[in-house]
Structure 1
Amino acid sequence: MSESLRFHIVLPSRGEERGPGALPPFVTDLRGGAYGPYDQLAQIARAAEIATFHGVLAPFDAGGEESFVVASGVLRHNRWLRAAAGFHPGIATPVYAAKVSASLQRFSSNRLDWRVEVDLDEATARAQGDFLTGADRYARAAEFLTVAKGVWHEEGYTYEGRYFQVLAGGFAGPLAGGAFPRVHLSGTSPEALDLSARHADVHVFGPADDLGALVPELRDRAAALGRAPAFGVALPVLAREDEEEALAEARRRTAAGDPPAGVVGSYAAAAEAIREYAARGVTAFFLDARPRIEEIYRLGEQLLPLLAGPRKETEHAD
């Protein structure tokens, strides 16, 4: 596929739609329930690697699986796939988050990414022990990322901030020298755009966001700081051979209570929608396709080839 575009699959955080730990419909478990929840996640990630996706996202979910645990399993059992761990800056100190990530980078040849979720709804945030609101959340996230990068890159690192303090910290020995995780951020508020201008490697928009206005604004904010983050989009997708088949499946899923997809249509139409996003500067696509194993293979076989281009042998190793 085109070297400028990267495709990722969103993993389930609470088990697939058919139930946590349930088998795919084409598999019969003759071992009497030995197939568990992680086996399902492992199959989804393996399907993504076989289908030549670039990575997976283990999203932050206050009531779901811990994303760093999921990401570590994905990284351990796949050779090329990147794994982004979604987390909230209030869950741990930036030093601890950096230490966990440094070990994961060592064990995975630097394939871990971060997906930092800043602006949670109030009930979820308070259930996590976080009572900050509004702009304070973004100020803390900026300090979190500053400190995490500081201890990662500098020995004897000291920081005195509003939310975090470090005295003579920093990694040495086996934890030093790895690549800092790619930082993925999101949001459309001025505070969110400012945070991404300073810290994001990739800013991920939603499918309904006004990219025509937001991409140039974020690009200008980042350029003023000497930075140039990439742009991504979270995109639910349901694609079939033709539009009629896709719409029929979408209606069936809506009747069953499933969430609607953002892109519904033929593989050719889905490819064209992705090209339109690419024309607006988007290079990273986080595809949410359900049920995942079946849809991953469909997209890998039918959609990604339509977006194919020259590909370097070393592409997966970055």
Structure 2
Amino acid sequence: MPVEFIGMIGTKDQSEIRHAAGPVIDRDYVRRFSRAHEDAGFDRVLIGYASTQPDGTQVAAYAAAHTERLGFLVAHRPGFVAPTLAARTFATLDQFTGGRIAVHIITGGSNSEQRHDGDFLTKDERYARTDEYLDIVKLAWTSDERFSYDGKYYQVEDFVSYVKSDQQPRIRLYFGGSSEAAYRVGGKHADTFALWGEPLAETKQQIDSVNAAADAAGRGDVPGISVSFRPILGPTEELAWERAHRILETTKENIEAFRAQWGTKTWPLGGDQPENVGSQRLLAAAAKGELHDRALWTPLAAATGAGGNSTALVGTPETVAQALLDYVDIGATTLLIRGYDPYDDAIDYGRYLLPIVREEVAKRDAERAAAAKATAQADARAAAANAQAVSA
């Protein structure tokens, strides 16, 4: 099946190697950045969530008004608004954008970040709350009858929403996390489960855990799998690696300002390991070595304390494409990629990287379809021969 490509947009020009400049919301930049992803052929763009940043639904509405095809994956933290209100908000946005909205559920891996918005539950409590929250949101999107819900965190009485998604049967749910609680809740609810870019063996272990959780939840299917990377491309391998090392050195120079910008005090500056399991796993991969598999490079994760998807794939477009295809081979259905030069990299990914991956995936799909057809024809001929022999 075709692979899905997701980029990421922000409301101003910034990254680990680019000091933020200008207003928090740069409308012209949002327009240009969204259009760059659309022109590059991305299926969707992620709009992140942080307690200090603009509201993602409003960013999506503005960007959608200035694009035609591009989808939007809006990060959302359960617990800060009622699930019934969230369901109506996203369904309304989906209607106005013509079915271009998906929701990325982030339960929250940092206690301090959650407390900025007034949430003082423990991590396990947050996941239990998310489970109830998504029960209600999905019912609100799909039920034509009034329903009630009596949970520990949410109680709903005689509710029905008259605004439904423009999509059928509902808006798609993506789900992020790497803990056992994340597997359990995401395995139950997610249409696509999102992972950060670890080495292939560790990623396969996580996929198996997600699938096992989906099976334990009684699903008849398994979620799609998204894996996130920061590709660093060059016209030659040597130039790609030269660029990667320049990015690393600039990131190290900027790290104090970068982490202060996001309000974090965790490792490497504060001495404390990050609270979320995803970051811990990336740091563990970095501790094992700088280079893994075909092109996975971990020093940038180590330099930043893995405060997000921070492992790179380094090389020519052909090398990075093959590295991405390695993840497709173990079960990835979605590839989330963003660059250190966010705007220019999005353009380059569209020119040089996405076409290679898509062409190879289409080729493999065609070969599998041809093989399946040949097998079916051979089985039919064998069955016919057996029937003729019996009749004789």
- TM-score normalised to structure 1 length: 0.87
- 1:50 correspondence with 2:44: no
- Aligned pairs (5 A) from 1:44-193: 44-154=33-143, 155-172=145-162, 175-176=163-164, 178-179=166-167, 180-193=170-183
Deviation, 1:19, is 5.3
Q: Deviations over 1:176-198 (max 9, x none)?
A: 35332211112222211111111
Whether the 8 Å contact between 2:99 and 2:165 is mirrored in structure 1 is no
Deviation, 1:15, is 4.0
Give the match for residue 5 of structure 1: 3
1:220 to 201, 212, 233: 212
Range moving further from structure 2, 4-13 or 250-259 = 250-259
Residue 7 of structure 1 aligns to which amino acid in structure 2? F
State the secondary structure of the residue aligned to 2:333. strand
Residue 188 of structure 1 aligns to which amino acid in structure 2? S
Q: Deviations over 1:188-240 (max 9, x none)?
A: 22211111111001101111272221212221321341232100111111111
Identity of paired residues, percent? 24
Alignment partners' CA distance in 2, 1:51 and 1:228: 30
- How many residues align structurally? 296
Closer, same or farther in 2 for the Cα pair 1:125/1:14, shift >3 Å?
Answer: farther
* RMSD between aligned residues: 2.2
- 1:289 correspondence with 2:358: no
Residue 37 of structure 1 aligns to which amino acid in structure 2? D
State the secondary structure of the residue aligned to 1:171. coil
Deviation, 1:271, is 0.4
Deviation, 1:20, is 5.0
Alignment partners' CA distance in 1, 2:12 and 2:156: 35
State the secondary structure of the residue aligned to 1:282. coil
Give the match for residue 229 of structure 2: 235
1:251 to 245, 265, 280: 245
- 1:200 correspondence with 2:206: no
2:348 to 295, 298, 308: 298
Closer, same or farther in 2 for the Cα pair 1:206/1:176, shift >3 Å?
Answer: closer
Alignment partners' CA distance in 1, 2:151 and 2:13: 39
Whether the 8 Å contact between 1:21 and 1:39 is mirrored in structure 2 is no
Closer, same or farther in 2 for the Cα pair 1:177/1:46, shift >3 Å?
Answer: closer
Whether the 8 Å contact between 2:12 and 2:29 is mirrored in structure 1 is no
Deviation, 1:290, is 2.5
Whether the 8 Å contact between 2:92 and 2:165 is mirrored in structure 1 is no
Give the match for residue 314 of structure 1: none
More helix by share: 2
Closer, same or farther in 2 for the Cα pair 1:15/1:69, shift >3 Å?
Answer: farther
Whether the 8 Å contact between 1:14 and 1:65 is mirrored in structure 2 is no
* Structure 1: stretches of 5+ with no match in the other structure: 23-32, 312-318
Deviation, 1:147, is 0.7
Alignment partners' CA distance in 2, 1:141 and 1:100: 17
Closer, same or farther in 2 for the Cα pair 1:40/1:20, shift >3 Å?
Answer: farther
Alignment partners' CA distance in 2, 1:193 and 1:230: 13
Alignment partners' CA distance in 2, 1:55 and 1:119: 22
Alignment partners' CA distance in 2, 1:213 and 1:291: 31
State the secondary structure of the residue aligned to 1:8. strand
Deviation, 1:21, is 6.2
Residue 206 of structure 2 aligns to which amino acid in structure 1? L
Deviation, 1:94, is 0.7
Alignment partners' CA distance in 2, 1:66 and 1:15: 17
- TM-score normalised to structure 2 length: 0.71
Alignment partners' CA distance in 2, 1:272 and 1:144: 39
2:317 to 243, 267, 272: 267
Whether the 8 Å contact between 1:58 and 1:85 is mirrored in structure 2 is yes
